[in-house]
Amino acid sequence: MMEHQRLKRQLRAAALARRDALDPQWRIEASLRIAEFGARAIAIDPGDVVSGFWPMRSEVDVRPLLFACREQLARLCLPAIIDKTTIVFRELLRGAPMIDMGFGTMGPTEDAEVLWPTVMLVPLAAFDRRGHRIGYGAGYYDRAIARLQENGHSPRLVGIAFDCQEVEAVPDEAHDVVIPEILTETGLHNFATAR
């Protein structure tokens, strides 16, 4: 178990270093390509609830993709950190106030409605071709997805990353959630059949 954690830390650090080294202008253009691919490849029905995330550091900027989902009449939400172990997804409305969520990210205020996503755009530090991901180490998304499933919700999970964040193999752990689709600047990669 400790070996898995050590290897995950190393893979996370290396993938994030590659992502950080990307030219900022290239990241903007790649984020726009990701939005274009996502708008075509992720079918959104009116009323679907799409959770995104406010980009921090060198992450993919999913705001253009969220805008495309809103154009398809989706309701949008962002994660809000409730305590050291829990996030909920609060509705993102045009013009509504945003607050600092910590970690360099923003989210809707406490009075925003809590929604249950039907499509989750999942941030990650690294991923492999089996759909295994390495998050940022706090486990918020693994727990949030498990809580959604325990409450009878099965959202479509789409990891969001740049191609440079791919690694050979992510060490498996029992609590890990497999992300069957990863959206990058080269398209939507479906790993559901690769397992």
Q: Mean pLDDT, consecutive 10-residue segments, the chain of 195 residues?
A: 86 97 98 97 95 94 96 95 87 90 82 96 95 87 90 94 97 82 97 58
Q: What are 178-194's pLDDT values in tens digits? A: 899 999 999 999 986 54
User: Do 168 and 14 contact (CB within 8 A), yes or no?
Assistant: no
Predicted pLDDT at 133? 93
* Structure confidence at residue 195 (pLDDT): 42
pLDDT digits (tens, 9 = 90+) for 71-111: 999 999 999 988 877 889 999 999 888 988 877 778 899 99
Binding residue per annotation — 133?
yes
Amino acid 193: pLDDT: 52
Q: Is 84 annotated as a binding residue?
A: no
Helix (H) or strand (E) holding 20: helix 2-20
> Do the annotations mark residue 66 as ligand-binding?
no
Tell me if 25 is assigned to a ligand binding site: no
Beta strands at 49-51 and 119-123: parallel, antiparallel or unpaired: parallel
- Annotated ligand binding at 138? The verdict is yes
Is 57 labeled as ligand-binding? no
DSSP state of 164: G
Determine if residue 104 is labeled as part of a ligand binding site: no
| Cross-strand bridge partners of residue 190 | 181
Q: Sign of dihedral through CA atoms 141, 143, 149, 152?
A: negative
135 is in an annotated binding site: yes
Which domains does the chain show, CATH number per domain? 2-190 (3.40.50.10420)
Contacts of 99 (CB under 8 A, 6+ apart): 106, 107, 108, 109
- To the question of whether residue 139 is assigned a binding role by annotation, the answer is yes
The answer to whether 59 is annotated as binding is: yes
10 is in an annotated binding site: yes
Consult the annotation and say whether 136 binds a ligand: yes
